[in-house]
């Protein structure tokens, strides 16, 4: 069992929401023991506190959205939550000026680096922890997660989607032996979000991806090419810098979504084609068994 921790000093981030396209600022502040992760919408005068709890997950389309009992929401929380878990943060107040956590680099690296820069303060209380004793299985569409007893929190993920099958040399399987040691894995928290370039216009019609750019999202062409802006208003092909980027981002999302349990879950997570919806289904099932 690990110690509860908070940030040593306040940290500010300013950026655009990947779906809303609106600029927002977040300020991560110290919090007392047993506070958990609490979002505060500073653009709303009252009923503006949202606990990062699985009970508050209200939408899982392309991201994880939290909504409190008064209908106040904050979206795209998963990368920030993953950064907290990777750096050991369990208690923090996150003031946010809008409806969406800024996408920043499309991963968690900017969050992790900033937390490492200011430092982490250990607190007296320990993190509540459950050890999986019996196999737990959840399925959704082509996705499946099986959790079995293990000495540490281990993640074994396979991501085998038609979306990436044409990408040359792409990695589809990866194992994280212990979540507690992820602080050393820069390739994990640098793994950007991704999507098909051909889906961009469709998602705009749904009111999504208004803040998407090649700086925060890996765009995959129809032939499996990786596409970036050429600086002249056009698009050019480039190489995938890390063959495991896609499956690593799936792990990053899972780590963030597991944080909504508010406790540590120790077991081996064997996963195929995870999604935010499937991750939330898993957390709900585990917590229902307590």
Residue 46: how many CB atoms within 10 A of its CB?
8
**179 in Cβ contact with 88 (< 8 Å):** no
Strands 268-272 vs 154-158: parallel, antiparallel or unpaired: parallel
Spatial contact of 123 and 247, defined as CB atoms under 8 Å apart = no
The predicted-structure confidence for 113-128, as pLDDT tens digits, reads as follows 999 999 999 999 999 9
Percent pLDDT > 90 in the chain is 90
Q: Does domain 3-127 have CATH number 3.30.230.20?
A: yes
Structural domain spans, the chain: 3-127
Q: What is the pLDDT of residue 239?
A: 85
Question: Per-residue pLDDT for 50 more than 80?
Answer: yes
- Say how far apart CA 209 and CA 145 lie, in whole Å: 27
DSSP letter assigned to residue 261: G
pLDDT at 33: 98
Give the Cα separation of 217 and 188 in Å (integer).
15
In the residue annotation, 276 being an active-site residue is answered as yes
**Residue written as token pair 């640098």:** 190
Q: How confident is the model at residue 48 (pLDDT cuts 50, 70, 90)?
A: very high
Q: How confident is the model at residue 277 (pLDDT cuts 50, 70, 90)?
A: very high
Nearest CA among 129, 146, 128 for reference residue 137: 146
pLDDT of residue 184: 95
pLDDT of residue 230: 72
Phi, psi for residue 57 in degrees, rounded to 5? -70, 120
19, 79, 249, 276: which one is catalytic? Answer: 276
Q: Which of 120, 122, 113, 124 is nearest to 8 (CA)?
A: 120
* Alpha-carbon gap, residue 6 to 119, rounded angstroms: 9
User: First-to-last CA distance in the chain?
Assistant: 18
Q: Read off the pLDDT of residues 164-214 as tens digits, 9 standing for 90 and up.
A: 999 999 999 999 999 999 999 999 999 999 999 999 888 998 888 999 988
Average pLDDT for the chain: 96
Largest distance between two CA atoms of the chain: 57
What is the rounded average pLDDT of the residues 240-258?
A: 96
Nearest residue to 218 (alpha-carbon basis) of 243, 244, 246: 246
pTM of the model: 0.96
Question: How far is the C-alpha of 285 from the C-alpha of 118, rounded, in Å?
Answer: 36
């Amino acid at each position: 069992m690990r110690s509860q921790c908070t940030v040593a000093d306040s940290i500010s981030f300013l950026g655009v929401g990947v779906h809303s396209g609106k600029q927002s600022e977040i300020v991560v502040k110290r919090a007392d023991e047993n506070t958990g992760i609490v979002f505060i919408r500073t653009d709303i005068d009252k009923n503006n506190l949202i606990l990062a709890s699985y009970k508050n997950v209200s939408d899982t389309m392309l991201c994880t959205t939290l909504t409190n009992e008064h209908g106040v929401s904050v979206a795209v929380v998963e990368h920030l939550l993953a950064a907290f878990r990777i750096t050991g943060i369990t208690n923090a107040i996150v003031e946010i000026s809008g409806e969406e956590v800024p996408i920043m680099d499309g991963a968690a690296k900017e969050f992790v680096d900033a937390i490492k820069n200011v430092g982490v303060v250990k607190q007296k209380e320990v993190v509540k922890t459950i050890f999986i004793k019996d196999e737990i299985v959840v399925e959704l569409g082509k996705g499946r997660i099986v959790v079995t007893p293990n000495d540490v929190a281990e993640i074994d993920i396979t991501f085998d989607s038609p979306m990436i099958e044409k990408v040359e040399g792409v990695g589809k399987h990866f194992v994280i032996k212990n979540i507690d040691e992820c602080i050393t894995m820069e390739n994990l928290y640098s793994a950007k979000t991704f999507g098909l370039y051909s889906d961009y216009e469709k998602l705009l019609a749904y009111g999504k991806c208004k803040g998407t750019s090649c700086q925060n999202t890996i765009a995959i062409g129809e032939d499996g090419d990786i596409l970036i802006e050429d600086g002249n208003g056009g698009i050019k092909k480039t190489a995938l810098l890390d063959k495991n980027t896609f499956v690593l981002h799936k792990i990053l999302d899972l780590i963030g979504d597991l944080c909504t349990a508010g406790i540590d879950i120790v077991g081996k997570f064997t996963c195929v084609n995870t999604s935010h919806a499937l991750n939330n289904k898993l957390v709900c099932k585990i917590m229902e068994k307590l």
